[in-house]
Amino acid sequence: MTPGPATGPDEAAGPEEAPGGELAAVAPQLRELRRRAGLTLEAAAARAGLSPAHLSRLETGRRQPSLPLLLTLARTYGTTVSELLGETPAVADPIVRAGAPGAREADGWTYWQAGSSGRGMQALRVHVPHGRGQGELVRVHPGEEWLYVLSGRLRLHLGEGEHLLEPGDSAHFDSLTPHRIAAAGPGGCDLLFVHTLLQSSLAGLCLGAAPSAPAPARHR
C-alpha cells in the first residue's frame, strides 16, 4: 500500500470540468458528509487516496467524480452512492422495476440502482464503455464484490491474474485483492455489480495503474 495519495485517471492534470446534469448536486453533499464525519479536507483526501486540491475541486463542483471515485468516497464517509447523489427516500422500496428512471453517468460509465439505498450491500447495474481511462484504476478496499456479466465481454484483473468473462460468467472476490475491470470489446460491457460498504482506515484506497509487468496467465 502506498502511504500517500496516488495519482490515477481522476487525478490526471487537465482542464477543470464544469458541473453538469444531476452530478452537480454531489458537490455540496460531499462537503456536508465530510463535515458530518468530523474530517478535515486533508484527512478525508488521505483516506480516499486523493490530493486535497482534487477533493476541494470535487466539493466545489469544479470536477465531476467518476463511478469508482463515488464508490471510494461513499466508503470513506461510511455511506452509499445513493446518499452521495441525494437519493434519500423516506421509505426504502424493496422492489426496483425494470425501466425505472435514475440512470447516472460518470466519466463514460453509466449505472442504475438495482437495490434499495441505505443497505449494507449495494447493487448496481453498470455499463462499462470500451477504451475509457477507468480501466486503468486499480482498487483496493475492505469488503467483498460480486459481479455478473449480462452482455459483452469483461476483462477482470484480480491480483496477479487476468480473466476474460463472457455473458453468464460471474466473479466473487475479497476487495482487498487489487482489482480493476475493463470492457474487452468495442461495444462495451453490461454487468450486475454488488459490493459491501465496510469502513476501516483503508477504506476507499485507490491506486494508480500498476507498473508494467510480464503478461499474466489468462484463465477461462
pLDDT computed for residue 29 by the predictor: 85
CB 190 within 8 A of CB 118: no
pLDDT computed for residue 95 by the predictor: 77
Give 4-48 pLDDT, tens digit per residue: 444 443 444 333 444 444 556 788 888 888 888 888 999 999 998
Q: Is the pLDDT of residue 65 over 60?
A: yes
Q: What is the C-alpha separation between 22 and 15, in angstroms, rounded?
A: 20
* Pairwise pLDDT comparison (184 vs 91), residue with the higher score: 184
pLDDT computed for residue 88 by the predictor: 57
pLDDT computed for residue 187 by the predictor: 92
Q: What is the C-alpha separation between 31 and 220, in angstroms, rounded?
A: 44
Q: DSSP letter at 10?
A: G
Using a 10 angstrom Cβ sphere, with 0-12 exposed, 13-18 middle and 19 or more buried, the burial of residue 101 is exposed
* Pairwise pLDDT comparison (162 vs 175), residue with the higher score: 162
pLDDT computed for residue 197 by the predictor: 63
Mean of pLDDT values over 128-140: 70
What would the grid cell of residue 180 be? 480493476
What would the grid cell of residue 200 be? 476501516
pLDDT computed for residue 23 by the predictor: 57
Q: What is the C-alpha separation between 89 and 29, in angstroms, rounded?
A: 16
